[in-house]
Amino acid sequence: MRALRLAAVVSIVAAVSFAQTFEEKTAKYLDSIRHQPPLLLAFLQQMPKGGDLHVHLGGAIYAESLIDYASENALCVDRSTSKLIRAACDSCETYRNKPSVRCAYQDHILYNQLIDAWSMRNWHREEESGHDHFFGTFDKFGPAFEKHVGNALAEVASRASADRLQYVELMHTADGGRAAILGDKIGWDDDFGKLRDKLLAGGLKEIVSTVRTELDADGQRERELLHCGTAKPDPGCEITIRYLYQVLRGLPREQVFAQILLGFELAKADPHVVGFNLVMPEDWYVPMHDFDLHMRIIEALRKFYPGTHVSLHAGELAIGLVPPEGLRFHIRESVELAGAERIGHGVAVMSETDPLGLLQELAKKNVLVEICLTSNDTILGISGNRHPLPVYLKYGVPVALSTDDQGVSRSDMTNEFLRAAEGHGLSYGELKRMARQSLEHSFLAGESLWIDAKVFRREPACGDANPSAGRVSGKCQTLLDTSERARAQWQLERAFADFERTF
């Protein structure tokens, strides 16, 4: 019996040793091609990447698709501004100022104009602020999304699959502004509890019900477009999508309150809505002026909704964009007042009061920072050694790479990994760690596969299980069957095992 136990231990050690060898060989291969961009790109395209935790549905769609959406909606475009309008369009033969978007299919000048205006393609830093061009795109193409949310979901899922992702959390103002309209109607009250009661009694519950119905319909349309459940489904059918309700923090305070409340209510009512976030440029007047108020609103409403997940944009700023004092507290208040579990961007962390103390606090509280290298470069001009990514890594703050607005940025997750490898010299182990952390810090339900996510040591139930196995037995299978999070993490481990075996 003792000999059998010894043999079993030797077998387990050997299996672990082989797994480590595969990972080491993969890491060595990455190092060998680090200065050969084509080979590095090919490697990263095939590398499993886990989840994208910071992506706006409105900015995730490429302009070419938006032109199709706008054409189907029979919209016109103001040629002088590239902004979509609802009006009687000029014909394609005689137009001057407001042609139908359909005209772009025969007019390559108009077609290219729209792509450039609705994205960062052909943008030149010397001629125009990246910040202004980037944020200016959304008002131009916004109407194209009407009746096309399902199409957008299908595009996001299909591209995520090609990017070797498996999970996406989409920021989406899914009510189309109904909560903001209700907030404007109800008005303001300094007593947050009373204001909550007024909104719930005044129609917010009905908005929750309507949004849930619309999300179901959009999801069904996505599955139809991807041919899910048919003989030839798109690989995007395998992507798990969840929503973060997107609050527009640049609106008046009563409207922001109503949207924050809707975010809490949706997360409580619909399992597909896993939390909420506050969006819009952090440097605009209202987001700056009302930042502390917004954090106090979230802090107050948390009492009614314990356990609701919150990820907040904070520190998407740079010196000169706002006065120095505007850089000193956004990340800290997001964590300490609003209880954010994740921070979006966090670029200005070293301009906060006591930045090293804040980094230590983020590490201790296990707050993940969603790193968006492409948008940080184009919007803020922050890249390379000016970006705080290496500092976060040095202080043990968990981080994950994200795409932010990949359609507007003309990027994808593979290119975010490429920027990390080229611009920051990250090793295979560091890239793999970020992929794992994306799922560890996702808002998926259930227990984690990892008993210690700092060193990625598995729960004892799955400690000896083989990720390459199609099915595991006993307590490990029970964990995977009952935890959406652990199941996604196990899927990632299987993908890594398959990927590393090729090296």
Read off the DSSP letter of residue 457: E
Which of the two residues, 502 and 87, has the higher pLDDT score? 502
| 371-381: average pLDDT | 97
Read off the DSSP letter of residue 349: G
* Tokens representing residue 117 in the block: 């205006």
Give DSSP secondary structure letters for 271-338.
TTEEEEEEES-TTSHHHHHTHHHHHHHHHHHGGGSTT--BEEEE----BTTB-GGGGSSHHHHHHHTS
Residue ranges of domains in the chain: 18-36+445-503, 57-144, 145-440
| 336-351: average pLDDT | 98
- What gap in Å lies between CA 134 and CA 123, rounded to an integer? 9
* Tokens representing residue 264 in the block: 């809490």
Give DSSP secondary structure letters for 105-154.
GT-HHHHHHHHHHTSSTT--TTTS-HHHHHHHHHHHHGGGGTT-HHHHHH
User: Residue 171: CB partners within 8 Å, gap ≥ 6?
Assistant: 54, 55, 56, 57, 243, 244, 245, 246, 277, 279
Which of the four pLDDT bands, split at 50, 70 and 90, describes residue 21?
A: confident
Tracing tokens 């795409």 back to the chain, one arrives at 403
CATH number of 145-440: 3.20.20.140
For the chain, the C-alpha Rg in angstroms (whole number) is 24
pLDDT over 80 (residue 13): no
CB atoms within 10 A of CB 330: 29
Least confident of 9-18, 104-113, 143-152: 9-18
* Closest C-alpha to 171, from 325, 342, 303: 342
pLDDT over 80 (residue 304): yes
| 95-115: average pLDDT | 92
Q: Which amino acid is at 202?
A: G
| 146-150: average pLDDT | 97
| 135-159: average pLDDT | 97
pLDDT over 50 (residue 113): yes
Three-class DSSP category at 122: coil
CB atoms within 10 A of CB 308: 22
Which of the two residues, 13 and 146, has the higher pLDDT score? 146
| 220-235: average pLDDT | 98
pTM recorded for the entire structure: 0.93
Q: What is the pLDDT of residue 135?
A: 97
Please, what is the average pLDDT of the chain?
94
The share of the chain scoring above pLDDT 70, in percent, equals: 95
Give the ranges where 142-204 is alpha helix by DSSP (H): 149-162, 178-186, 192-199
Q: What is the pLDDT of residue 4?
A: 46
* Tokens representing residue 59 in the block: 């900015």
Least confident of 6-20, 154-168, 267-281, 348-362: 6-20
Is the C-alpha dihedral spanning 307, 315, 438, 393 positive or negative?
Answer: negative
Q: What is the pLDDT of residue 95?
A: 61
CA atoms within 13 A on the CB side of 203: 12
Least confident of 1-5, 20-24, 36-40: 1-5
Torsions phi, psi for 68 (to 5 deg): -65, -45
Q: For the packed helices 178-186 and 192-199, what is the interaxial angle rounded to 10 degrees? A: 120
Which of the two residues, 10 and 318, has the higher pLDDT score? 318
pLDDT over 80 (residue 222): yes
Q: What is the pLDDT of residue 70?
A: 97
Query: What is the rounded (10 degree) CA torsion for 496, 458, 51, 423?
Result: -70
Q: What is the pLDDT of residue 12?
A: 45
What confidence tens digit (pLDDT) does each residue in 377-388 have?
Answer: 999 999 999 999
Which of the four pLDDT bands, split at 50, 70 and 90, describes residue 20?
A: low
| 308-315: average pLDDT | 98
Q: What is the pLDDT of residue 348?
A: 98
Read off the DSSP letter of residue 459: P
Q: What is the pLDDT of residue 17?
A: 47
* Tokens representing residue 303 in the block: 């009492």
Least confident of 23-27, 85-89, 105-109, 110-114: 85-89
